[in-house]
Structure 1
Amino acid sequence: MAQSPSHKFGQQLGKLLEDIVLYDILKPRLQQFAQVKNYYLDWQRSRPARSGKKVTWEDKYGNKHDLDFVIEVDGTDNKLGRPVAFIESAWRRYTKHSKNKAQEIQGAILPIIELHHLSAPFYRVVLAGDFTKPALEQLKNNGFAVIYIPYKSVVSAFQVIDFDVAFDEDTPDESYTTVFRQLDSLTSSDKEKLRQALMRVS
């Protein structure tokens, strides 16, 4: 079944936000923190200590979960350390999906936390888009530190490069032709302006 233009655009926008927020904004700060504390920061890339590029950790039930960032004590490129922090991210355009995503994150992280409870790991989630207050409260009530960038703030950030990313289920399919082209043609300068704007709103 073919994806709707709305769904496809939402995915592409989410991927761009992930690249900017996680890897351009958050990762340098996590690397600096890990270096100061003599910790090891793991993210999605090749590492001899594990197979593949994904950061995969097992929970207390034996289920495996792919994560965004993990900070370890005594970890090296060649040896897995003891986890002391887990950081996840998510983008959702519509609030109707936000509760499910919150539960998905919670269902992945909490059993890993329980397995490594002696490390007393810190766990954070970075969310962007439309998330309901109950979804955010659910994560906070379960011990998550939450950074939330509302959808309106995302739209506002893109306005610094004259890019209107506002869309909803009533946006005509033909309107996406232009925005797809704009997404594909973003320059390094555009992305740097976006990074600065997203840092301000978050």
Structure 2
Amino acid sequence: MAKSNAHRWGQIIGDVFEAATLEILQSVAEEHRLFLDSKGIRKARRGKLVQWQDVFGNFHDLDYVLERGGTEESIGIPVAFVETAWRKYTKHSKAKAQEIEAALSPLGVTYQDVQPFLGCVLSGEFTQPSLAQLRSKGIRVIHWDSDDVFAAFS
């Protein structure tokens, strides 16, 4: 299937956004002596995806997990689950918010004894109701709107 240049540009923006988030989270991990797990090979888990299982037996693919006591060889105690997303149009922002909530909320319940931070870093067009839904579930939201994103590229 052919993809438009606009679609490819959106992918590039999303990739740059994820890389910037990774850099910031790596700095936080180093400052607080935490292990940052992100997509890629890690001896402590199978495959390239970061997956955590909830109390209901479901596995969730995540962008980033900060772990106390984690290493390349062993899984630590989760202290933060962080998702990222970029949206060019508001059309699918509610669905993306629901997807993020469906991943983070059960993990918050599963690890409630350690009270992990549940958060998402969003950029682009997200409706206020979609942001409010995430916040109402205890998920912390950082959101940069499209104007801020495009200004960064100009």
Matched residue type, 1:22: T
Query: Which of the numbers 23, 30, 33 marks the counterpart of 1:32?
Result: 30
- Partner residue in 1 for 2:138: 143
- Partner residue in 2 for 1:23: 22
Cα shift at 1:116:
1.2
Separation in structure 2 between the aligned mates of residue 60 and residue 8 of structure 1, nearest angstrom? 37
Equivalent position SS for 1:117: coil
Q: Which has the higher strand share?
A: 2
TM-score w.r.t. the length of structure 2 is 0.90
State the Cα deviation string for residues 75-105 of structure 1 (Å, max 9, x = none).
Answer: 2222111212111100000011111100000
Contact 1:88–1:125, Cα closer than 8 Å, also in 2: yes
Separation in structure 2 between the aligned mates of residue 22 and residue 16 of structure 1, nearest angstrom? 9
Counterparts of 1:1-202 in structure 2 under 5 Å? Answer: 1-19=1-19, 21-24=20-23, 26-35=24-33, 39-159=34-154
Unaligned regions of 5+ residues in structure 1, if any? 160-202
The number of aligned residues is 154
Contact 1:55–1:69, Cα closer than 8 Å, also in 2: yes
Separation in structure 2 between the aligned mates of residue 149 and residue 59 of structure 1, nearest angstrom? 29
Larger radius of gyration: 1
- Partner residue in 2 for 1:165: none
- Partner residue in 2 for 1:188: none
TM-score w.r.t. the length of structure 1 is 0.70
Unaligned regions of 5+ residues in structure 2, if any? none
Cα shift at 1:108:
0.9
Separation in structure 1 between the aligned mates of residue 5 and residue 58 of structure 2, nearest angstrom? 34
Cα shift at 1:157:
1.2
Separation in structure 2 between the aligned mates of residue 77 and residue 16 of structure 1, nearest angstrom? 25
Separation in structure 2 between the aligned mates of residue 112 and residue 28 of structure 1, nearest angstrom? 21
State the Cα deviation string for residues 88-128 of structure 1 (Å, max 9, x = none).
Answer: 10000001111110000000111111111111111110000
Change (3 A) 1:74 1:32: closer
State the Cα deviation string for residues 9-68 of structure 1 (Å, max 9, x = none).
Answer: 22232122222x2233x2332222332xxx322222322111122211112222212212
Separation in structure 2 between the aligned mates of residue 33 and residue 135 of structure 1, nearest angstrom? 32
Question: Aligned residues: percent identity?
Answer: 44
Separation in structure 2 between the aligned mates of residue 72 and residue 17 of structure 1, nearest angstrom? 22
Equivalent position SS for 1:119: coil
